[in-house]
Amino acid sequence: MTTSRPIDIAIIGSGLAGGLIALALRARRPELRVVLVEGSDHAGGNHLWSCFTSDVAPGNRWLIEPLIVHGWGGHQVRFPGQDRTFDTAYASLTSERLDAVLRQTMPAGDLLLGRPVAALTPTSATLADGTTIEARAVIDARGPGDMAALDLGYQKFLGQSWRCDAPHGLSRPIMMDATVDQSEGYRFVYVLPVSADRLFIEDTYYTTGPALDEPALRARIADYARAQNWAGAPDGHEETGILPVCMGGDIAALWAAESPGVAKVGLRGGFFHALTGYSLPDAVRVALAIAAMRDLDGAALHGQIEALARAHWKGQRFYRMLSTMLFRAAEPAERWRVLARFYRLDPALIGRFYAGRSTFTDRLRILTGKPPVPIGRAIHALGAARI
């Protein structure tokens, strides 16, 4: 590729992780030339990403603030015989907004859309059209790759935007409504009230396999809306997810599986919450850590980001253990009890859990008391796992 100025960092993939790194580097290291290469004709993919405001450290929130499209002052959960509301603020970002902000922020010619990448080295990317981009360092942000090194279950969902014929009356998101049928395994409906007459409704379930039956989920959403007396219909936007829920594995093998020597971020690098598959808080943290790194040459960048991935893996051990208990110790139809019990705990503890920052005392609190899974099966499942 002929360019007037050498490229310092080529980020491959303009989704959540790659997009946030590009924005963090533009803000914090404007002297660097950063090129963002995306296979699709727009940045960001097709997502509504959400998180609790407390998942992101106050000093880091500036990075996602321009991307926030909806925000709420609290949320609620529903389990059989148990409704609870929380005041923890929640916010949603959209792919469209990330696309728009990247188009505004990246200098002309440094956001390359519709350019799928075929192969990577630590200092070059070969595009499918045969063009080669040379850079001091390459970051692979192409989303989930070969995850055979991990022992996974799945959190799967289909979400639809709904227009209601009359105001729906919901003022806070329903994070989990697990009063729905639980016979297949842990299942819940997630609802975001995005305006007075619009909802985002998602049917979510945890199972051991990655297959997603989309027509069945659309039918379940319609049934749920009917049961809530929300007359209306889907209004176009639909998204699906098959997110990894990690019970164990080998982080070094995950990194070695593809493009050896190339720094990996986002789901590809293992930066996600082991029980929820969510990666937004980690993507913010990693983007700002990269923007603060002094040595950004290929090998140095790889070493520093891999060290972050290993530290993250170590820090996720507790959540891998809970994933193992959820999938391997609890009967599918009884899995909801694990979450119902968790949602009876202190809101601050729940907040630290989603942020991946559970303290030692939190961990004890989560594990003590009358266990919602048979203790013998839990011990057996944990003993067999490579957590």
Instruction: Give the binding range for ligand FAD (CB under 6 A) out of 9-17, 129-137, 161-169, 303-311.
Output: 9-17
CB of 264 to ligand FAD, least distance (A): 9
Q: Which of 88, 259, 279, 323 binds ligand FAD (CB under 6 A)?
A: 279
| Between 7 and 267, CB nearer to ligand FAD | 267
Contact between 53 and ligand FAD by CB under 6 A: the answer reads no
| Between 120 and 329, CB nearer to ligand FAD | 120
Helix (H, G, I), strand (E, B) or coil at 256: helix
CB of 373 to ligand FAD, least distance (A): 26
Site for ligand FAD in 222-251 (CB under 6 A): 239, 241, 243
Q: What is the DSSP string of 128-191?
A: TTS-EEEEEEEEE--SS---TTEEEEEEEEEEEEEEESS-----S-EEEETTS--TTSSEEEEE
Closest-CA residue to 17 (of 90, 103, 102): 102
Contact between 277 and ligand FAD by CB under 6 A: the answer reads yes
**57 alpha carbon, distance to own chain's centre:** 17
Contact between 258 and ligand FAD by CB under 6 A: the answer reads no
C-beta of residue 126 within 8 angstroms of C-beta of residue 118: yes
CB of 257 to ligand FAD, least distance (A): 15
Contact between 13 and ligand FAD by CB under 6 A: the answer reads yes
Q: Which of 24, 34, 51, 305 binds ligand FAD (CB under 6 A)?
A: 51
Contact between 347 and ligand FAD by CB under 6 A: the answer reads no
C-beta of residue 157 within 8 angstroms of C-beta of residue 169: no
Here's the x/- map for ligand FAD, 98-137, by CB under 6 A: it reads as: ------------------xx--------------------
Residue 103 tokens read as 């188009």
| Burial track 287-316 (b if 16+ CB lie within 10 A, e otherwise) | bbebbeeeebebebbbebbbebbeebbeeb
Contact between 16 and ligand FAD by CB under 6 A: the answer reads yes
Paired strand residues for 81: none
CB of 253 to ligand FAD, least distance (A): 18
| Between 241 and 371, CB nearer to ligand FAD | 241
Contact between 207 and ligand FAD by CB under 6 A: the answer reads no
| Between 95 and 123, CB nearer to ligand FAD | 95
Q: Which residue is nearest to ligand FAD (CB)?
A: 15
Contact between 267 and ligand FAD by CB under 6 A: the answer reads yes
Number of other residues whose CB lies within 10 A of the CB of residue 32: 15
Residue 284 tokens read as 């913010």
Contact between 39 and ligand FAD by CB under 6 A: the answer reads yes
Over the Cα atoms of the chain, what is R_g? 21
Contact between 14 and ligand FAD by CB under 6 A: the answer reads yes
Side-chain-side CA neighbours of residue 119 (13 Å): 6
Number of other residues whose CB lies within 10 A of the CB of residue 2: 4
CB of 15 to ligand FAD, least distance (A): 2
Contact between 64 and ligand FAD by CB under 6 A: the answer reads no
- CA angle, 365 as apex, 309 and 351 as ends, to 5°? 55
- Greatest C-alpha distance within the chain: 66
Contact between 173 and ligand FAD by CB under 6 A: the answer reads no
Instruction: Give the binding range for ligand FAD (CB under 6 A) out of 71-79, 271-279, 292-300, 318-326.
Output: 271-279
Number of other residues whose CB lies within 10 A of the CB of residue 215: 8
CB of 45 to ligand FAD, least distance (A): 4
Closest-CA residue to 341 (of 209, 176, 229, 222): 176
CB of 268 to ligand FAD, least distance (A): 6
Give, for 262, the enclosing helix (H) or strand (E): none
Closest-CA residue to 325 (of 210, 244, 242, 245): 245
Contact between 191 and ligand FAD by CB under 6 A: the answer reads no
Enumerate binding residues for ligand FAD (CB under 6 A): 12-18, 37-40, 45, 47, 49-51, 116-117, 141-143, 239, 241, 243, 266-268, 277-280
